[in-house]
């Protein structure tokens, strides 16, 4: 879900030409969730193999990733680690929403309400351990680096960007800016070039500390926000003071976790300092075994995309450099 700051932050429209040669740290959970939500059949049913196992994530990661790389874009995939204890309540809330959406989806299907069914189907998407492990396997067979975060993936993405190893974090959420990423690229998983949006922290007119305060006021993955305070009102409050103590005096913070605790979590998130970014070799046979033999993908189409990636890597040996 993340912090919603779209009403107060104006992104810059960019195109794929602007992205050529740049490296992006991808919030993997975020992009996998997008694939699970969007790559579906007409009635909202996700793509599945002959055994009824979901394959939407594999389809998105394989075809979309290769298309991006073919445009000259470098990718690092970062996966979430152990969530903080104070996120567990939000995780349970999301689980309940997904279960309720699944029930409504099934009812809509029985009643022949296709559009309604598709809406609830997207809301019912969930990421299992099997989906995560298969995603990591596929990415490693493609030769992409897979980085395991200590805690939140977006915090580790921000660390990679701050270390100069990536140009921006690729995510739909604004959270990476709060975690310190100098830039966030939105809509990278969408094939339309006109959808690409770049947000640079220094161009927002706000400091990272101010963004964190605004996030806490409107709501984050860790707190529900203050009733009656939206992004614009939060912006007005924060512009008058950058002091956490002053903000606390002006609002009714009744959440069980203190504002200071969450503020410091964003400001100093747990990350791995000694992470490794290792680009591997393309392994066509392992890719085909996973996608074609295990999940019934078209071998002809898979081979076509493997060749597409292989040709790009062969022509541009520095493709995966920084």
What sign has the CA pseudo-torsion 295, 300, 303, 308?
negative
**Average pLDDT estimate for 237-263:** 89
Global confidence as pTM: 0.90
- pLDDT for the residue 318: 39
- pLDDT for the residue 46: 86
Query: Which of 53-62, 221-230, 279-288 bottoms out in mean pLDDT, i.e. has the lowest?
Result: 221-230
**Average pLDDT estimate for 78-84:** 95
Query: Which of 27-31, 111-115, 139-143 bottoms out in mean pLDDT, i.e. has the lowest?
Result: 111-115
Average pLDDT, the chain: 89
pLDDT single digits (tens) 14-58 = 999 999 999 999 999 999 998 998 888 877 888 999 999 999 999
Helix 114-123 and helix 88-110, axial crossing angle in degrees, nearest 10: 160
Under 8 Å between Cβ of 23 and 169: no
Q: Work out the angle at residue 110's Cα, subtended by the Cα atoms of residues 107 and 112, and round it to the nearest 5 degrees.
A: 110
- pLDDT for the residue 320: 41
Query: Which of 87-91, 128-132, 217-221 bottoms out in mean pLDDT, i.e. has the lowest?
Result: 87-91
pLDDT band at 3 (very low <50, low <70, confident <90, very high): confident
- pLDDT for the residue 35: 92
pLDDT at residue 302 greater than cutoff 60: yes
- pLDDT for the residue 254: 87
* Spatial CB neighbours of 144, under 8 Å, sequence gap ≥ 6: 65, 75, 76, 77, 279, 280
Under 8 Å between Cβ of 183 and 167: yes
C-alpha distance from residue 276 to each of 149, 156, 253 (Å): 11, 12, 40
Under 8 Å between Cβ of 153 and 135: no
Under 8 Å between Cβ of 302 and 291: yes
Query: CB 306: neighbour CB atoms within 10 A?
Result: 21
The half-sphere exposure of 207 on its side-chain side, counting CA atoms within 13 A, is 9
pLDDT band at 314 (very low <50, low <70, confident <90, very high): low
Domains of the chain: 1-205 (3.40.50.1010), 206-269 (1.10.150.20)
The closest of 24, 9, 2 to 87, measured between CA atoms, is 2
């Amino acid at each position: 879900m993340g912090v919603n700051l779209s009403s107060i932050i104006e992104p810059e429209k960019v195109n794929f030409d602007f992205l050529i040669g740049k490296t992006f740290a991808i919030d993997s959970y975020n992009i996998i969730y997008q694939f699970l939500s969007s790559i579906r059949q007409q009635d909202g049913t996700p793509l599945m193999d002959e055994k009824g196992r979901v394959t939407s994530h594999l389809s998105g990661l394989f075809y979309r990733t290769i298309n991006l790389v073919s445009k000259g874009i470098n990718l690092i995939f970062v996966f979430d680690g152990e969530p903080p204890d104070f996120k567990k309540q939000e995780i349970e809330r999301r689980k309940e929403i997904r279960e309720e959406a699944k029930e409504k989806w099934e009812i809509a299907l029985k009643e022949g309400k296709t559009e309604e069914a598709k809406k609830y189907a997207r809301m019912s998407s969930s990421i299992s351990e099997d989906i995560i492990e298969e995603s990591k396997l596929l990415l490693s067979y493609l030769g992409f680096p897979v980085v395991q975060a200590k805690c939140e993936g977006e915090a580790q993405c921000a660390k990679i960007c701050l270390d100069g190893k990536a140009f921006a974090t690729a995510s739909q959420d604004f959270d990476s800016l709060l975690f310190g990423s100098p830039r966030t690229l939105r809509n990278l998983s969408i094939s339309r070039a006109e959808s690409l949006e770049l947000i640079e922290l220094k161009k927002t007119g706000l400091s990272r500390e101010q963004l964190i305060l605004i996030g806490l006021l409107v709501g984050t993955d860790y707190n529900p926000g203050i009733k009656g305070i939206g992004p614009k009102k939060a912006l007005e409050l924060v512009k008058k003071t950058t002091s956490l103590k002053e903000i606390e005096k002006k609002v009714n913070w009744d959440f069980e976790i203190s504002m200071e605790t969450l503020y410091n979590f964003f400001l100093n998130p747990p990350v791995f300092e000694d992470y490794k970014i290792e680009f591997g070799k393309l392994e066509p046979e392992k890719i085909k075994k996973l996608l074609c033999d295990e999940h019934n993908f078209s071998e002809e189409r898979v081979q076509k995309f493997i060749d597409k990636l292989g040709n790009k890597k062969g022509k541009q040996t520095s493709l995966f450099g920084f």
